[in-house]
Amino acid sequence: MSQSNKSDNPWNAIIGVAVIVIFMVGLFMLARFVFRILAFLSPIMLIAALVIDYTVVTDYLKWVRKTFQRDAIAGVIIGILSVIGFPVLSGYFLARALLKKQVKKAKAEYERRRDGDLVEYEELETDFPPRFRKEERPINDDDLVR
């Protein structure tokens, strides 16, 4: 007869299921807590995203409009999900606006390093004192280098 590793104790299965249920309930509570915080901060995040880079929001709205024109059902679904998930969407807008700002900053720094800094200058008059004026004299044979 072969021996199996199965135990006849039903409590192991019950404890395993209970641990999984407790873990899932904990994840649900954590997600609900995070969503509530995002819901509270979403207007502030949206305004900050608009101030940092308004094109993030306008590009999203253009994308939703194009999707609605191409496929009405998908556009309606995206619109409904955008309203329901507004706290998450506003966080996405803020993150994308900050990322675009950092990319622009890094690109400007790269171009500054590549091209060099521009130096402001002022044109001076060419009326130098006599000791700095270049005197024109005829070229002699001694001046020529062979």
In a domain, residue 84? The reply is: yes
- Does the pTM surpass 0.85? The reply is no
In a domain, residue 63? The reply is: yes
pLDDT for residue 7: 65
In a domain, residue 124? The reply is: no
Domain span at residue 53? 41-114
In a domain, residue 105? The reply is: yes
pLDDT for residue 124: 67
Which residues in the chain show pLDDT less than 50?
Answer: none
In a domain, residue 27? The reply is: no
Count of domains observed in the chain: 1
In a domain, residue 125? The reply is: no
In a domain, residue 121? The reply is: no
In a domain, residue 131? The reply is: no
Taking the C-alpha atoms of residue 140 and residue 134, their distance in angstroms, rounded to an integer, is 17
